[in-house]
Structure 1
Amino acid sequence: MFKTTRYILALLLLGTAVLAQAQKDTTLTQEVEVTKAYKPTLSDANKLNSMPTIEETEHQQPTFNYSINSQPVFSTFSVNPLKAAIVETTRNEDNGYGLVRAGLGTTFRPYGEVFFNNQNSKNSLFGIHAMHLSSFDDIELEGGNKVDAPFMKNEVDLFIKSLFRDNVLSVNLDFKHDAFNYYGYPLSAVPDPLLEDDQTINYFDTKQSFAKGGINIGLNNPTAEYDDQTISFDFTYHYFGTKTEQREHYANFELDVQQPMTMGVGLLEGGILYTQASDIYLQADSTTGNRSQIIIYAKPAWFIGDETANLKLGVNTWFAMVSDEDTEAKISPNIRANWTPVPELISLYAGIDGDYISNHYSKIAYENPFIDPQHDVMNSFQKLRFYGGFDGKLSPKTNFKISAEYAMIDNQPFYYLSEALYLEAGYNPAPSIVDNTFKVLYDNIDRLKLNAEIFHASSDKVDLTASVNYYSYKLDEQEEAWNLPTWDANLNIGYKVNEQLSLSADIFLMGERKALIIESANLYSSAAAIYRSSNLETAFDLNVKGNYQITNKFSVFAQLNNFGFQKYQRWFGYPVQSFNMLAGISYSF
C-alpha cells in the first residue's frame, strides 16, 4: 500500500507541477478552446482540399477502453509511431509529400520509418507508411542467466480514401511482421537440460515470428447527425501465420443502419464474423487440428431525444457456432442515457450493456505473445456491464473524465505456467522444469473499474494527459485474478521549448500483480496440482523524447527508453530491456 501511494503521489505531484508551470508561463498568450471532452474529430467527409501535415512529435489523447487481459505494454522497445496522416481542410499551403526517419540505438537497434501521402484530386487521398525496428540485446533473468532477447518489428500500410458526396470510401491494406525469442524463465536459474543445444523439452530459446496481412474496406458518413438516414458498412479480412506453422483466416462484415422514425430513430448494427485456425491443440478432444467459428450478431435499438438529453433502448444478440464448443445464443441489454445540463461544459451518462468476446487465435497471440503457440482459447461472454460517469471542462484548456463500471464476465481466460519433473535422459535427481510458454485456465469474474482522466492544452507550448485506474476483482474459483493489476496510471507531457526544440515524456505505472505456476509430479502424472503464486512488482517506465528542427526539412531526434532503469516483467519470467537509447535524423519532402 505504501509503494502504491508513493507512486500515485509522485505522478500527481509531477503533473501538478507541470500544470502550474504552464499556468505561470507568460509567453503562452494564445488561447486554446477545447470544445468536447475526449471526442475525436471527424474530418474525412470534408473536401480533401489540402495536403496532410505530418507532425514530428505528437501526444495523443488516451482512449478509454480497458482490456481485462491487462499487461504492461510499455514501449521500452520502440519509438512512439507517428499517426497516419490526417486530412486537413484549413490550410492551402503545400506541406509536402511525406517524411523519412532513420536512426540507430544502443545494442545495435536500427530504426527506419517512411510516410508518403499523395492527394490525387480534391476528393481522394493515397498514402503509404512503412516502419522497421529491431534489437539484438541480451537480458539477465531473475535467476541470473543472461539470455538472447532479440526482436524485430516491420509494418507496411497502404490507404486510399475517396469522398462521394457526404460519404467516405476507405480502403486499407496492411502487413506486419514481428519476430522474437521465447527467452524467459521465472524465479530460478534455467535448468541445465534447457541450456543444451537443440533441446526439445519446451520452447526455451526458440525463435518465433508472427506475420499478418489484411484488407479493410469501409463506407461511412462521419458528418451525419444523430437523426439522419444513413447506411454504412465495414469489411475486414486478414491472414495470420506463425513460424511454428499455425495459420488463421479472419473475416468480419458489419452493417450499420440509422433510420429516422415518426418518433425517435431506429438503429441496427449487425454482421457476421468468421475465423479458422489450423494446427492448434484442441481442448475438446486433446488432438491437433483446426478450429473454426461463425458468430452472427444483431444489435437493434431505438433512440429518442436530442443532443442535450437522449436515451437508447436496445438489445445485443449473438449466435455462435464454434467447431469445438456447443452452439450457443447470447443476449444482453443495450441501454444508455446521456444528459448535457450545460453544453460544452459537462455531460453525464449511464448505461447497461454486454459483449460476446471472440478469443480467436491472433487476438490471443498478440495479447500474450509468449502463450503456447498451439493455444485454443474459449470465447468469453460479458453478460452485463453497468457503467456511468461524467466528463467536461475545468477551463477552456482543461478537460476531464470520471467514470465507473461493473462488469460480469463468464469464461475469462487467465494465463499461467506449468511445472513438472523431467524424468527422461537419465538425470539424477530429475530436475523440475517450468514451461516458459503460458497455458490458459478460466473463471467467471466480476470486475469493478474506477477511472479518472485529465487533458490540459496550453496554447501550442504544453500539453498534459494523465490517467489513473483502480480495479477490484471477484472470482468464483481462483484465489487471484492472475496477471491483472489492482491499479495503473500514466502521464504524458509535451513541451515546445522554442520553434526548433520540442520535448516530451511518457510515464507508465502498473501496480503489483499475481502470477501463477501450477506444479504436477511429472508430465504424465494425474496427481492433484499444486498452485504456487508469485508477486510481480510495480512496473515503472519512463520514456523521454526530444526533437530539434535544423531546417524546414531536416531535424534530429533522440529517445531515452526505460529511463527508470527498471527491468519489470511484462509477463512472468519475461523482463523487459533496461535503459536504452535511440537517435537519428528526419527529412520531410
Structure 2
Amino acid sequence: MFKSIQYILVIILMGIGLAAQAQRDTLTQEVEVTKAYKPTLSDANKLNSMPTIDETEHQKPTFNYTINSQPVFSSFSVNPLKAAIIETQAPQDNGYGLVRAGLGTTFRPYGEVFFNNVNSKNSLFGIHAMHLSSFDKIELEGGDKVDAPFMKNEVDLFVKHLFRDNVLSVNIDFKHDAFNYYGYPLVAVPDPLLENNQDINYFDTKQSFAKGGINIGLKNPTAEYDDATIGFNFIYHYFGTKTDQREHYANFIMDVQQPMITGVGLLEGGILYTQASDIFLQADSAIGNRSQIIIHAKPAWFIGDETANLKLGVNTWFAMVSDEDAVAKLSPNIRANWTPVPELISLYAGIDGKYISNHYSKIAYENPFTDPEHDVMNAFQKFRFYGGFDGKLSKKTNFKVSAEYSITDNQPFYYLSESLYFDPDYNPAPLVTDNTFKVLYDNTNRLKLNAELFHASTDKLELTASVNYYNYKLDEQEEAWNLPTWDATLNIGYKVNEQLSLSADIFLMGERKALVIQQPDPRNLTAVALPPTYKSNNLDAAFDLNLKGNYQLTNKFAVFGQLNNFGFQKYQRWFGYPVQSFNMLAGISYSF
C-alpha cells in the first residue's frame, strides 16, 4: 500500500551558536520562581512548567500545514518528549528582566524586552515585547531581484495566581506581521506584473496581519490521575489584514475529572465560534462573511493506575457552518498505557480522531501567501491509530519512538493557478501565474514515523534531535502537494565556560512536489469542456543551519551574535518563495 521507505541519514554538525539568555519563569505550587537566563531547548523534555521564549527569530523551514508559519521566516519546535524529567542545576535569581538590542545585515534591526515581577508569593507577572524586521531583496528562480521585506512585532503580558491547589492564568498578547507577496515561480516575472499599480494579481503587494487576544485558564497542576478536578480555558482573538479581512475567534473548553466507584470519569466539552468577513465564499461565488459554531463533547472512562491504565471514550462534534451543511461527527477515543519499568520505559497505543476547524487566521498563518480572500473547508480526521514507547537510555538521555496512521477527509492542499492574460498591449498574450495560493481538497491516508532524542551532559551540553518520515495515499491527487516525505532537526547547546555559550540548529526537509494548474484557453471553443492542465514541479530538499554565540562581559552585560542560514541555501519555503540566504545579527544585552 505504501512506497518503499527511504532511509534517512541526516544531521552531521560541527558548529557554534548562541546559547542566549532567554527568560521565563517556573511556577510550582509554592510559586517558586526561576529567572535564570540560561540556554534552553524549548519544551524538549518537559523541564519547564512554563514555556521559554526564543530570544531571536530563527530562519527555519515549515511545510507541514499544521505549524503556525510567519511571513518570510517561520518558527519550528521539536515535538515534546514524554520521558521522565531530567535533573538540572539549582535555580538562580538573576533579577527582574532582560533587554536585548541588535542589528544585522540588510538593515535588520532587532530588540526584545523581558520583565517579571515576583514580589508576591502567590502571583507571577511578566511582560515580553519583541521587534524584528528586514529590508532585503531576494533573487527569484527566473532571475528577477525583488523586494522581500518583513516586520514582526509581539507584545505579551501574562499573570498567574495561585489559590488553594489551582493556578489561574491570564495572557494578553498582540502580534503584528508585515510582508510582501514577492514570489513568482520558475520563470521571469511577466511584464504586465512589473507595471506600476498592476491589479492582475497580488505580486509585489504589501500585506500585514494583526492579531490581539486574551487567554484565561484555570487548572490544578498538582492533581493526580484519580483526583477530582475541574478546569477551563477560554481564548478570544481579533484578527485583521491589510487587505481588509477580519476575524473574530472565541473558544471555550472545560475539563472535568471525577472519581467513580470503579475508575475515573473524564469529560471535555466546549464551544468554538469564528466569524470571518470580506472573503470569497465558494458556495455563493461572491464576497461575504463566513461564520461557524462547533460544539464538542469528549466523555471517557479511565481505569487503572500509574503503571497500567486504559481510557475508553468517544469524541463527538456538531458543526454549523454558514456556507456548509450542518454536520455531526463521531470518532473513538481509546488509549492504553503501560510502564513495565517505572521511569525507564513506557509504552502506549490508541485510536482517536478530530474535527479540524480551518478558520481564517489558522490558514493565514499556516501559509501567509494564500489568497487573502480564502474560504477553506473544515477537515475531519476520522481515525488516527497511534502507538510508541518512550523512556530513558541513561540518567541524562531521554528518547521517544512513535508511529501513527491517520485517515482524513477534506485535507486541504495548496496550489498556484496559471492562465493567459489578454490585453491589446501584449501580443501574444503572456501566460501569468498567480503568486497567491488557492486550495483544493482530497481524502488522505498518512503514515508518520517519529524518533526523538534528548541528551543533557551535566550543565555543559544539551542536545535534541528529531526525525520524521511521512507516506501519503490520496484518493484523487497524484501527490501530497507541498508536503515532504521526511524532515529532521538537531539542536545543540554548549556552555564553554562561565562567559561563553554556543549553540547551533540544523533543519532539514525532504523533497516536495508543488502544483500549478493551467486554465484552458477560452478562445478555443472546444477548450470549455476540457479540464485544466496539472503541472507538477519539484522542490529540492531544504537545509538550514543557524549558529549562535553569547559572551558574558559582566554580570549585567553580554554580547551576542547569530549566523542565519549558514548553509547558504535559498530553499523555497513555498513554491516561488525562496527564503533569504546567509545573514548575520549581532548585538548587546543587559539584565536587571
TM over 0.5: yes
Letter in 2 for 1:506: D
The answer for the alignment partner of 1:342 in structure 2 is 341
Structure 1 unaligned blocks of 5 or more: 19-40, 82-88
CA contact (8 A) 2:69 2:365 kept: no
Q: Give the distance between the partners of 1:218 and 1:307, measured in 2 at CA.
A: 26
Residues 549-580 of structure 1 show CA distances to partners (whole Å, capped at 9, x for unaligned) of: 11111000000000000000000000000000
Is 2:440 aligned against 1:441? yes
Letter in 2 for 1:313: L
The answer for the alignment partner of 2:31 in structure 1 is 48
CA contact (8 A) 1:315 1:331 kept: yes
Matches within 5 A, 1:251-290: 251-290=250-289
> How far off its partner does 1:74 sit?
9.8
Q: Give the distance between the partners of 1:566 and 1:94, measured in 2 at CA.
A: 41
Q: Give the distance between the partners of 1:523 and 1:563, measured in 2 at CA.
A: 47
Residue number among 65, 68, 77 corresponding to 1:69 in the alignment: 65
Residues 111-166 of structure 1 show CA distances to partners (whole Å, capped at 9, x for unaligned) of: 00000100241001111000000000000000000000000000000011100111
Q: Give the distance between the partners of 1:348 and 1:91, measured in 2 at CA.
A: 31
Letter in 2 for 1:207: K
Letter in 2 for 1:46: Q
The answer for the alignment partner of 2:130 in structure 1 is 131
The alpha-carbon distance between structure 1 residues 172 and 308, as it changes in their structure 2 partners (threshold 3 A), is: same
CA contact (8 A) 1:43 1:222 kept: no
CA contact (8 A) 1:61 1:455 kept: no
Structure 2 unaligned blocks of 5 or more: 17-23, 47-61, 78-87
> How far off its partner does 1:55 sit?
1.6
Stretch moving more, 93-102 or 338-347: 93-102
CA contact (8 A) 2:68 2:75 kept: no
Letter in 1 for 2:441: Y
The answer for the alignment partner of 1:296 in structure 2 is 295
Q: Secondary structure at the match of 2:364?
A: helix
The answer for the alignment partner of 2:53 in structure 1 is none
CA contact (8 A) 2:37 2:94 kept: no
The answer for the alignment partner of 1:543 in structure 2 is 546
Is 2:57 aligned against 1:58? no
Which of the pair has the greater relative contact order for Cα pairs under 8 Å at 6+ separation? 2
CA contact (8 A) 2:410 2:442 kept: yes
Q: Give the distance between the partners of 1:253 and 1:74, measured in 2 at CA.
A: 26
> How far off its partner does 1:60 sit?
2.2
> How far off its partner does 1:44 sit?
3.2
Q: Give the distance between the partners of 2:68 and 2:142, measured in 1 at CA.
A: 21
The alpha-carbon distance between structure 1 residues 300 and 275, as it changes in their structure 2 partners (threshold 3 A), is: same
The alpha-carbon distance between structure 1 residues 434 and 276, as it changes in their structure 2 partners (threshold 3 A), is: same
CA contact (8 A) 1:501 1:549 kept: yes
Residues 355-411 of structure 1 show CA distances to partners (whole Å, capped at 9, x for unaligned) of: 000000000000000000000000000000000000011111111110000000000
Is 2:537 aligned against 1:534? yes
Residues 11-68 of structure 1 show CA distances to partners (whole Å, capped at 9, x for unaligned) of: 1x549x99xxxxxxxxxxxxxxxxxxxxxx9963412244x3142532224499x995
Q: Give the distance between the partners of 1:150 and 1:42, measured in 2 at CA.
A: 34
Q: Give the distance between the partners of 1:91 and 1:143, measured in 2 at CA.
A: 55
CA contact (8 A) 1:71 1:571 kept: no
> How far off its partner does 1:69 sit?
1.8
Q: Secondary structure at the match of 1:270?
A: strand
Letter in 2 for 1:206: T
Q: Secondary structure at the match of 1:304?
A: strand
The alpha-carbon distance between structure 1 residues 478 and 456, as it changes in their structure 2 partners (threshold 3 A), is: same
> How far off its partner does 1:9 sit?
2.8
The answer for the alignment partner of 2:120 in structure 1 is 121
The answer for the alignment partner of 1:584 in structure 2 is 587
The answer for the alignment partner of 1:31 in structure 2 is none
The answer for the alignment partner of 1:216 in structure 2 is 215
Q: Give the distance between the partners of 1:382 and 1:340, measured in 2 at CA.
A: 29
CA contact (8 A) 1:54 1:99 kept: no
The answer for the alignment partner of 1:480 in structure 2 is 479
Q: Secondary structure at the match of 1:325?
A: coil
Q: Give the distance between the partners of 1:49 and 1:479, measured in 2 at CA.
A: 55
Q: Give the distance between the partners of 1:174 and 1:381, measured in 2 at CA.
A: 30
CA contact (8 A) 2:36 2:91 kept: no
Q: Give the distance between the partners of 1:221 and 1:305, measured in 2 at CA.
A: 21
Q: Give the distance between the partners of 1:14 and 1:144, measured in 2 at CA.
A: 32
CA contact (8 A) 1:44 1:222 kept: no
Normalised by the size of structure 2, how large is the TM-score? 0.89
Number of paired residues?
553
Residues 143-202 of structure 1 show CA distances to partners (whole Å, capped at 9, x for unaligned) of: 000000000000000011100111000111000000000000000000000000000000
Is 2:555 aligned against 1:552? yes
Q: Give the distance between the partners of 2:65 and 2:365, measured in 1 at CA.
A: 11
Residues 443-479 of structure 1 show CA distances to partners (whole Å, capped at 9, x for unaligned) of: 0000000011111100011111111111000000000
Residues 420-453 of structure 1 show CA distances to partners (whole Å, capped at 9, x for unaligned) of: 0001243100000000000000000000000111
The alpha-carbon distance between structure 1 residues 548 and 43, as it changes in their structure 2 partners (threshold 3 A), is: closer
Is 2:575 aligned against 1:575? no
Residues 230-250 of structure 1 show CA distances to partners (whole Å, capped at 9, x for unaligned) of: 000000000000000000000
Q: Give the distance between the partners of 1:216 and 1:369, measured in 2 at CA.
A: 24
Q: Give the distance between the partners of 2:563 and 2:518, measured in 1 at CA.
A: 40
The answer for the alignment partner of 1:9 in structure 2 is 9
CA contact (8 A) 1:341 1:347 kept: yes
Letter in 2 for 1:305: G
RMSD: 2.5
Q: Give the distance between the partners of 1:423 and 1:47, measured in 2 at CA.
A: 71
Q: Give the distance between the partners of 2:338 and 2:428, measured in 1 at CA.
A: 69
The answer for the alignment partner of 1:27 in structure 2 is none
Q: What stretches of structure 1 move > 3 A for 4+ residues in a row? A: 41-45, 61-64, 70-81, 89-94, 522-527
